[in-house]
Amino acid sequence: MRGSDQPSQTASGRSFAGIADNIRPGCAASTEIRLALASVADRSDMVRHKLEEQWPQRSGRLYSICRYALLPNGKLFRPVLLLESTAAVGGELASSLPAAAGAEYGHVASLIHDDIIDGDNLRRGRPSVQHKYGIDDAIVAGDALIFHLFANLAECRSTGVPDGYVVSALAAVARAGLDLCYGQALELEMCRNRHFDLESYMKMARLKTGALFRGACECGAILGGGSPKWVQQLAAYGEHLGLAFQIRDDVLPYVSDTETTGKPVTSDVDNGRLTLPVILAYKFAGQQEREGISAALSSSVDPVQTLDFLRGVLGRTGAVDMAVEMAGKYAEVSRQALQGLPFSPSRDRLEYFAELVIVRDR
Amino acid sequence: MRGSDQPSQTASGRSFAGIADNIRPGCAASTEIRLALASVADRSDMVRHKLEEQWPQRSGRLYSICRYALLPNGKLFRPVLLLESTAAVGGELASSLPAAAGAEYGHVASLIHDDIIDGDNLRRGRPSVQHKYGIDDAIVAGDALIFHLFANLAECRSTGVPDGYVVSALAAVARAGLDLCYGQALELEMCRNRHFDLESYMKMARLKTGALFRGACECGAILGGGSPKWVQQLAAYGEHLGLAFQIRDDVLPYVSDTETTGKPVTSDVDNGRLTLPVILAYKFAGQQEREGISAALSSSVDPVQTLDFLRGVLGRTGAVDMAVEMAGKYAEVSRQALQGLPFSPSRDRLEYFAELVIVRDR
């Protein structure tokens, strides 16, 4: 399915292949991942083509805003997970394609609304929707993309998916969306209450990020006609992969830079977000440093200065290393969830993703 | 289904029976409507019981916010339309009930997000969600209710609705939600550009309000197993009923008061909203009055003063009477759309709703 006229766009874009290019040279897994991901580009190309097909250049403000948020596309991680999960249970990629694009709509909707809440002005290296178009239109655009997600799910009937599978997928996707919202609300609450608690963090991350990854894998497996056991396995895979992904996301401000990540590395501290490294540092810091952490995240001082301060404390307490280790453990659990699935290139790639998410720099 | 232990709650609540109580005594249709609506209370009771069953008292911030927005319930107009549409095609009310509650979730989600956009602090006579809980949580709560809507649609499988009907309903509901968003965006654009244009208004109203009414009726008819022709008829009924409803909504600030409507009558002028009476007044006003209208809606002067000024211009141009007449015409078109449906108490009630929407005071 890869468009032969656009190979460079794929190689240089923010696709999986793009991520692989960005893995640090010193990383042991990088060569293996690079080889495996060459074929992943096919999947993300399929999704990108679907997005371009569903969102041609057209007038209309809300339409343009949605299009701006979707194209040029991001990593397309969730859509690719959905497609690989379909293929891993022996299903047809083409029949899951509308749902895969839908997974991106749901994800981008949450980014648009997140950026309003966080007041973030940069996303994927460009002005965020709320910054470019204002909060009012950003609220409506996020809502519209949620409805587009479900419209695309209904479209799977026309690609030959049996109605029963579509209804099961509907239930799974709605549940994932709900978990995402409850996770976002929990995160807001943790930030408000300055609740440096590991258990709350894990619950929040499982809901906020784990659920959408789980939903994508579960949906893909259901639409592909997977047995209940396989569907459950891929759901568990997705959830733990999502946890590993989120932890890596939390670590990024301490190991990457704004140019690479495409959003300000100061965003988390700027929003007083209780990320895993910070929570771990707080857990293992002395009383004085604890007060420093708490004050740093509460105050409205220069976020760059705050980030520098936190980098110091995180280094001394070994919090970043601990977080990296935890990400590794969740990635390992996600890999183990695949055991018993039929051997296939898709299963191999799902396994590689578990390596990829914990070494990515963006 | 009406709970015999709670008759007073229904009679005094913001249900259909409550609306009927509120119809002005001088209105010719009031007695007939009062009689017909006695049995409608059964439907709204069913929905209210379903809401109470799905939202018991429980802890958790987001849960509490959603519950606050839903209960005590509003008019439950859209859920009742959905149920009557199911019954009108010979379907089982109980099997459509989760979707009926879902229609309320979708509607309330749009109210929560609307109140953020408009900065409205009062809704259903109580603090709006954004005013009580803040904008951040209000964004997430609106999102959550959209996902709850779709979760409820999936639940219709467990009430015995065939999967094929659920998928068709999914497509109809997603389309309605999308239209709603595009209508909201169009309204924002019209307000920004001070575009006093009747055609744009009709398009906006059809999308913003017509679509959700259409979606409710279409969804109910589909889930009830209606033939494609009946589904189409009920969709047309809903869309035109929604237009009549919206026009009546626009007229309310000029014929009702804040206490009766449960939201500030100054809200529309405060938000510089181009409602139908204002657009009609502009169309038929002289140059000087046009400038007055434009200035009144643009400026940040006292909204009560603005409303008084507009009441004067609207009276002189006959704009309110014209709008009332238009609402009547759309109500008539909606009634005609029902021709050919089997005669039933549900069809009768749907016809009465077309009378009701254009005489209500809230």
**Residue pair A86/A220 in contact by the 8 Å Cβ criterion:** yes
- The predicted-structure confidence for A179-194, as pLDDT tens digits, reads as follows 999 999 999 999 888 8
- The predicted-structure confidence for A5-22, as pLDDT tens digits, reads as follows 332 333 334 455 455 555
Minimal Cβ distance to B62: which of A60, A117, A181: A181
Q: Do A139 and B113 touch (CB under 8 A)?
A: yes
- Asked, for residue B102, whether it belongs to a domain, the answer is yes
Q: Is the peptide bond before B72 cis (omega within 30 degrees of 0)?
A: yes
Q: In sequence order, which ranges of chain A are alpha helices (DSSP H)?
A: 7-12, 16-21, 30-54, 61-70, 77-88, 93-118, 129-133, 135-155, 163-193, 198-205, 211-223, 228-255, 258-261, 267-270, 276-284, 287-298, 303-317, 319-336, 345-356
CA distance B169 to chain A (A): 9
Q: For chain B, what is the mean pLDDT?
A: 88
pLDDT at residue A36 above 80?
no
- Asked, for residue B1, whether it belongs to a domain, the answer is no
CA distance A298 to chain B (A): 18
**Beta strand A126-127 with B122-123: parallel, antiparallel or unpaired?**
unpaired
- Asked, for residue A343, whether it belongs to a domain, the answer is yes
- Give A-chain residues touching B139 at CB under 8 angstroms: 113, 116-117, 139, 142
Q: What is the pLDDT of residue B208?
A: 94
Binning chain B into helix, strand and coil, the percentages to the nearest 5 are 75, 0, 25
pLDDT at residue A35 above 70?
no
Chain B, nearest residue to A179 by Cα? B144
Q: Do B146 and A147 touch (CB under 8 A)?
A: yes
- Residue contacts between A and B (CB atoms, under 8 Å): 146
CB count within 10 Å of CB B61 equals 17
What would the mean pLDDT of A206-210 be, rounded to a whole number? Answer: 96
- Asked, for residue B157, whether it belongs to a domain, the answer is yes
CA distance A153 to chain B (A): 8
The CATH number for B55's domain is: 1.10.600.10
- The predicted-structure confidence for B140-154, as pLDDT tens digits, reads as follows 999 999 999 999 999
Q: What is the largest CA-CA distance in chain B?
A: 62
| Lowest mean pLDDT, pick from A70-84, B16-30, B214-228, B270-284 | B16-30
Q: What is the dihedral of CA A173, A179, A180, A183, to 10 degrees?
A: -170
pLDDT at residue B351 above 50?
yes
What would the mean pLDDT of B289-316 be, rounded to a whole number? Answer: 83
Minimal Cβ distance to A143: which of B146, B163, B167: B146
Q: What is the pLDDT of residue B24?
A: 53
Total domain count, chain B: 1
Q: Is the peptide bond before B277 cis (omega within 30 degrees of 0)?
A: no
Nearest to B74, CA basis, from B29, B110, B31: B110
**B122 three-state secondary structure:** strand
- The predicted-structure confidence for B45-92, as pLDDT tens digits, reads as follows 999 999 999 999 999 999 999 999 999 999 999 999 999 999 999 999
Whole-structure pTM value: 0.90
- Asked, for residue A317, whether it belongs to a domain, the answer is yes
CA distance A348 to chain B (A): 33
Q: What is the pLDDT of residue B31?
A: 57
CB count within 10 Å of CB A359 equals 21
Q: What is the pLDDT of residue A34?
A: 59
Q: Do B139 and A113 touch (CB under 8 A)?
A: yes
What would the mean pLDDT of A120-132 be, rounded to a whole number? Answer: 94
- Asked, for residue A3, whether it belongs to a domain, the answer is no
Q: What is the pLDDT of residue A104?
A: 98
- Give A-chain residues touching B119 at CB under 8 angstroms: none
* Beta bridge mates, B123: B126
- Asked, for residue B2, whether it belongs to a domain, the answer is no
**B127 three-state secondary structure:** strand
CA distance A129 to A122: 9
Minimal Cβ distance to A170: which of B117, B150, B175: B150
What would the mean pLDDT of B241-264 be, rounded to a whole number? Answer: 86
Q: Which domain holds residue B293?
A: 8-356
CA distance B226 to B231: 6
Minimal Cβ distance to B181: which of A116, A143, A182: A143
- Asked, for residue B59, whether it belongs to a domain, the answer is yes
Q: What is the largest CA-CA distance in chain A?
A: 62
CA distance B11 to B63: 28
**ipTM passes above 0.95:** no
For B143, residues 6+ apart whose C-beta sits below 8 A from its C-beta are: A109, A110, A113, A142, A143, A146, A177, A181, A184, B109
